[in-house]
Amino acid sequence: MEILSNSVTFWPRDYSQAWTLNAPVERSGVGLHSGATARLRLEPFEQAGYWVGWLDAPELPLSQLHPSQVCETQLCTALQLDQRRLATVEHLLAALAGVGISSALLLVDGPEIPLMDGSAQPWVEAIAEVGLKALGPRPVASALSAPITLQHGQSFVTALPSERLRLAAAIEFPQPAIGRQLFSLELTPEAFVEQIAPARTFGFKQQVEQLLAAGLIKGGALDNALVCDGDGWVNPPLRFADEPVRHKLLDLLGDLALAGLPQAQVFAFRGSHGLHTALAAALVSSS
Ligand SMILES: [Zn+2]
């Protein structure tokens, strides 16, 4: 057993071991869609995978997360878990998978995960507060037998067989503040914490105003998303000059985490939650 201090230098070195949380930790915050306060308690769990139960309905059975539960990918990744819907899971799942946690119980109050600051950093900090507990060697994910590519319009995702987990994302926007950005890395817990976790969600001023007016993002605010007005940002400073593409990579990881970390090199060109989760489903059915 290894107990972490708050320092991020003590994350697992790689993803060869199975880890859970060392103790429960709870956070609450505004939900993007409802604007209501959402609450989440992360608990240690021995069985492999990410499992969801309900603080507000403890009698319901636990659900193990799986890409087949994806029911909506427009503004976030939402899951249908038996009779309950759970939205905005991707940043939390990226944090869990990214730091090396392979088993956890997520106890949720309400229909969505708190948005926090729009990045995975607050979840990383919550996990660092309680530390990780080793569960032994992690079962090796079966290697891809062939590349998988999925396409939607000009966007595509591709997964290639690889001994090491490498992720890359590229984005292309007409807005000069974003333009073309590429980010790639060999994923390790430390690289995730330092280079990916702090990157926040971004949106466009006009689109954000429309969604707010339509009541679709009641919890959307300038402290939980970067807002682009074309040539610049409404709420600078950025945490990285290329924060948008790093956030795309964060979303990619969070969506792939529904299937567990792949033994693959994955590239998402103009990725979306729809493409990412479709790839997670394809990775599960190919293994
Ligand atoms: Zn996101």
**Residue 28 token pair:** 């609450």
Mean pLDDT of 184-198: 97
Does residue 210 register a pLDDT over 50? yes
Mean pLDDT of 153-181: 96
**Residue 44 token pair:** 């240690």
> What spacing in Å lies between the alpha carbon of 277 and ligand 1's midpoint?
13
Q: What is the pTM of this model?
A: 0.95
DSSP bridge pairs for 155? 152
DSSP string, 138-196: PPPPPPPSS-EEEEETTEEEEEEE-SS-EEEEEEE-SSTTT-EEEEEEE--HHHIIIII
The whole-angstrom separation of Cα 258 and Cα 96 is 11
Does residue 145 register a pLDDT over 70? yes
Summarize pLDDT for 78-97 with one digit per residue, the tens: 999 998 999 999 999 999 99
> What spacing in Å lies between the alpha carbon of 122 and ligand 1's midpoint?
14
Summarize pLDDT for 21-47 with one digit per residue, the tens: 999 999 999 988 888 899 999 999 999
pLDDT at position 20 is 97
> What spacing in Å lies between the alpha carbon of 82 and ligand 1's midpoint?
24
With contact defined as beta carbons under 8 Å apart, do 82 and 71 qualify? no
Summarize pLDDT for 116-138 with one digit per residue, the tens: 999 999 999 999 999 999 999 99
- The residue assigned the tokens 């939607």 is 152
Radius of gyration of the chain (CA): 18
Omega prior to 237 cis, within 30 of 0: yes
> What spacing in Å lies between the alpha carbon of 255 and ligand 1's midpoint?
10
For the annotated catalytic residues, the residue numbers are: 273
The angle at the Cα of 217, spanning 213 to 221, to the nearest 5 degrees, equals: 95
Nearest C-alpha neighbor of 38 from the set 109, 86, 87: 109
pLDDT band, residue 193 (cuts 50/70/90): very high
Mean pLDDT of 50-56: 97
Cβ atoms within 10 Å of 62's Cβ, excluding its own? 14
